[in-house]
Chain A
Amino acid sequence: MKKRGLIRQNSPWMEILSRFSRNKLAMLGAIVLLLLILSALFADVLAPYGMDDQDVSQALQGPSAEHWFGTDKFGRDQFSRVLYGGRVSLRVGIVAVAVALVFGGTLGVIAGYVGGKVDSVIMRIMDVLMAVPGMLLAVAIAASLGAGLGNMMIAIGIGNVPGYARITRAAVMSAKGNEYVEAARATGAGNLRIILRHILPNAIAPVIVQATLGVASSITACAMLSFLGLGAAPPTPEWGGMLSTARDYLRTHAYMAIFPGLFIMITVFSLNVMGDGLRDAIDPRLKD
């Protein structure tokens, strides 16, 4: 028996990665996202000006060779502020999703694995939370905690908890039904081992996809809260906050809104195509 390919150690995760890498649009999204993250991380190297360097003589200048994205009413370089703003926006997106993932994921695992009454109680609470529109909930939480970056991340995160709880619960329940879980129990494995070794690795894929898409929606939510004045405190630049400031100059200095808006759009778009690509790579059947 010359069975080729038997010795290859293709793990299921490697296969997902290789399918993902064949999806051109998703790869483009991933590369753009990587560039955005790098540009935010190295903002102090890349940015020609500081994030709060004011030069009133240069106020409200359109895009030029010195100021690629123009300047605002304090004469701050918009390009530099967009780069620095990426730090905040991307961080908010990621941290908010992490908050939602930790709480929602844990609740979902407990509900899905234990089942019965525990499941009913957790999921009814989630239903109540879900009944409130996510954005409204975030606004309410942010307003009651007070403005500020940290509070905003918590607010957006909590608003997303029910969604992650639901997805995780469904994935855990479907993984739990497999015979290998019963086999593990028959060999005396404890609950923790069953969850960590047998259920989570087989349930995590759809949650990862949801999280990728969730970062995008959190960035939008963050922009929205900042726009409402509930986000980062000035002078910290943040894409949504910059849009909010640009509101007053929309008719005369549209570029002030266009560039931060464009960055939000590009980020959200990259994350979305990446999330879609990831979903297709994880479950290739969905595609054909």
Chain B
Amino acid sequence: MNEMNDILLEVKDLAIEYRTRKSLVQAVNGISFQVPRGSTLGLVGETGAGKTTTALGIMGLIPVPPGKVAGGEILFQGEDLLQKSPAEMRAIRGKRISMIFQDPMTALNPILTVGDQICEVIRLHEKLSKHEAVAKAKEMLELVGIPGERYGEFPHQFSGGMKQRVVIAIALACSPMLLIADEPTTALDVTIQAQVLLLMNNLKKELGTSMILITHDLGVVAETCENVAIMYAGEIVEMGTLEDIYEHARHPYTRGLFDSIPDLDVEQDRLKPIAGLMPDPSALPVGCSFAPRCPYRTAACEAAPVGSTQLSPTHCVRCVRAGELAGGKEGGQA
């Protein structure tokens, strides 16, 4: 899997910052990851971890100013997206890379029919006649489980789950190679979420689309992703295959996340939350940014930035004590 042509997207040392009048916020702080063709990477983290900023960075949608890509490379099929002109990026967005946003309620234009909104994307990127585009749009609706006859209906005639299906249809209309889904099911009820996840998994298999799934829900990740990156304060603190993260997590933050979720199938008396709060992104600590909340911190953690340690070909972690904290996620907790 390390062969170059198998890697669809490679992000290297990406740094994105926002400058406000009072401060400099390092939203994304030198992150690197790869998305192999046909696979799904889960980007997991809490509010303010930099997940969405990373996605907007890949899409070339960081608002400048106040935002700024401060460094790094985003190699998509071997080409650096950061070197592309705005016009070139427009041609890529929606065609080769597309994005699904969290809130299906505001992602659709209320005064256009859903069919026309799908049609618009198709005609923007593909040389099709109006007639052919309409036929394709209907096909896309059917693909996401909406009868083609509903082409002429307006967004307000659809429920939340159906709207998200329309959003997915728009995103997939031009058969993108990479789909970035930002919390695609967070706004939906669980029974509807189950329907949408099933749909996304099936479409992914059918169309061979690679995906970056941004979420805070470790349950959703377990069902959809092959690889997982855990983000904290703008950095990837741990990354690996699903098994690496879910069975052999090494980073104290990753373990803390798992411990914070009440287990649905086992009774627990008390939860084990992570103490404290996220650091102020405009005043990150010198050393490991998780150190102030970490039960295992040492002087070394706070003294200097912590580099990434490769534990296996697939599993890397940013923790000084990664070696000592071995064992499954259960093992190290005592």
Q: Do chains A and B touch in the complex (CB under 8 A)?
A: yes
Please give, as numbers and ranges, the residues of chain A lying within 8 Å of B280 by CB-CB distance.
3-5
The smallest C-beta distance from A166 to any residue of chain B, in angstroms, reads 25
In the complex, the answer to whether B277 meets A1 with C-beta atoms within 8 Å is: yes
Please give, as numbers and ranges, the residues of chain A lying within 8 Å of B287 by CB-CB distance.
none
In the complex, the answer to whether B283 meets A4 with C-beta atoms within 8 Å is: yes
Please give, as numbers and ranges, the residues of chain B lying within 8 Å of A4 by CB-CB distance.
280, 283
* Bound Cα distance A2, B283 (Å): 9
Please give, as numbers and ranges, the residues of chain B lying within 8 Å of A2 by CB-CB distance.
283
B276 in the interface (beta carbon within 8 A): yes
* Least CB separation from B292: chain A residue: A1
Chain B proximity mask over A100-140: 1 for CB below 8 Å, otherwise 0: 00000000000000000000000000000000000000000
Contacts across chains A and B counted by CB atoms under 8 Å: 11
Please give, as numbers and ranges, the residues of chain B lying within 8 Å of A3 by CB-CB distance.
277, 280, 283
Q: Which of A1-59 contact B (CB under 8 A)?
A: 1-5
Chain B proximity mask over A236-250: 1 for CB below 8 Å, otherwise 0: 000000000000000
Please give, as numbers and ranges, the residues of chain A lying within 8 Å of B277 by CB-CB distance.
1, 3
Query: Chain B CB within 10 Å — which of A1, A3, A4, A5 has the most?
Result: A1
Chain A proximity mask over B273-307: 1 for CB below 8 Å, otherwise 0: 00011011001000000001000000000000000
* Bound Cα distance A4, B23 (Å): 11
Please give, as numbers and ranges, the residues of chain B lying within 8 Å of A5 by CB-CB distance.
280
Please give, as numbers and ranges, the residues of chain B lying within 8 Å of A1 by CB-CB distance.
276-277, 279, 292
* Least CB separation from A19: chain B residue: B21
Classify chain A's interface size. under 10
Name the prevailing secondary structure of the B interface residues.
Answer: loop
* Bound Cα distance A1, B277 (Å): 8
* Bound Cα distance A4, B276 (Å): 15
Q: Which of B118-162 contact A (CB under 8 A)?
A: none
The smallest C-beta distance from B224 to any residue of chain A, in angstroms, reads 34
* Bound Cα distance A184, B277 (Å): 28
The smallest C-beta distance from A5 to any residue of chain B, in angstroms, reads 8
* Bound Cα distance A5, B281 (Å): 13
The smallest C-beta distance from B129 to any residue of chain A, in angstroms, reads 39
* Bound Cα distance A5, B20 (Å): 15
* Bound Cα distance A123, B292 (Å): 57
Please give, as numbers and ranges, the residues of chain A lying within 8 Å of B276 by CB-CB distance.
1
Q: Which of A202-259 contact B (CB under 8 A)?
A: none
* Bound Cα distance A5, B22 (Å): 11
* Bound Cα distance A4, B283 (Å): 8
* Least CB separation from A2: chain B residue: B283
* Bound Cα distance A98, B226 (Å): 66
Please give, as numbers and ranges, the residues of chain A lying within 8 Å of B283 by CB-CB distance.
2-4
The smallest C-beta distance from A24 to any residue of chain B, in angstroms, reads 15
The smallest C-beta distance from A4 to any residue of chain B, in angstroms, reads 6
* Least CB separation from B282: chain A residue: A4
* Least CB separation from B277: chain A residue: A1
* Bound Cα distance A1, B276 (Å): 8
* Bound Cα distance A4, B279 (Å): 10
The smallest C-beta distance from A40 to any residue of chain B, in angstroms, reads 36
* Bound Cα distance A3, B280 (Å): 7
Chain B proximity mask over A248-276: 1 for CB below 8 Å, otherwise 0: 00000000000000000000000000000
The smallest C-beta distance from B201 to any residue of chain A, in angstroms, reads 37
* Bound Cα distance A269, B230 (Å): 55
* Bound Cα distance A3, B23 (Å): 13
* Bound Cα distance A125, B276 (Å): 56
Q: Which of B161-205 contact A (CB under 8 A)?
A: none
* Bound Cα distance A2, B284 (Å): 10
* Least CB separation from B283: chain A residue: A4
* Least CB separation from B22: chain A residue: A5
* Least CB separation from B280: chain A residue: A3
The smallest C-beta distance from A84 to any residue of chain B, in angstroms, reads 44
Please give, as numbers and ranges, the residues of chain A lying within 8 Å of B279 by CB-CB distance.
1
* Bound Cα distance A4, B22 (Å): 12
* Bound Cα distance A2, B286 (Å): 12
* Bound Cα distance A2, B276 (Å): 11
The smallest C-beta distance from B169 to any residue of chain A, in angstroms, reads 31
* Least CB separation from B293: chain A residue: A1
* Bound Cα distance A3, B276 (Å): 11
* Bound Cα distance A4, B285 (Å): 12
The smallest C-beta distance from B156 to any residue of chain A, in angstroms, reads 20
The smallest C-beta distance from A147 to any residue of chain B, in angstroms, reads 52
* Bound Cα distance A3, B283 (Å): 8
* Bound Cα distance A1, B292 (Å): 7
Query: Chain A CB within 10 Å — which of B277, B280, B292 has the most?
Result: B280
The smallest C-beta distance from B253 to any residue of chain A, in angstroms, reads 16
* Bound Cα distance A104, B275 (Å): 52
* Bound Cα distance A263, B150 (Å): 62
* Least CB separation from A6: chain B residue: B280
The smallest C-beta distance from A288 to any residue of chain B, in angstroms, reads 9
* Bound Cα distance A2, B302 (Å): 13
- Known: A3-B280, A4-B283; 6 extra A-B contacts, CB below 8 A, are A1-B276, A1-B277, A1-B292, A2-B283, A4-B280, A5-B280
5 closest cross-chain pairs (CB), A and B? A3-B280, A4-B283, A1-B276, A1-B292, A1-B277
B residues in contact (CB < 8 Å) with A: 276-277, 279-280, 283, 292
Query: Could you list 11 examples of A-B contacts with CB < 8 Å?
Result: A1-B276, A1-B277, A1-B279, A1-B292, A2-B283, A3-B277, A3-B280, A3-B283, A4-B280, A4-B283, A5-B280
A residues in contact (CB < 8 Å) with B: 1-5
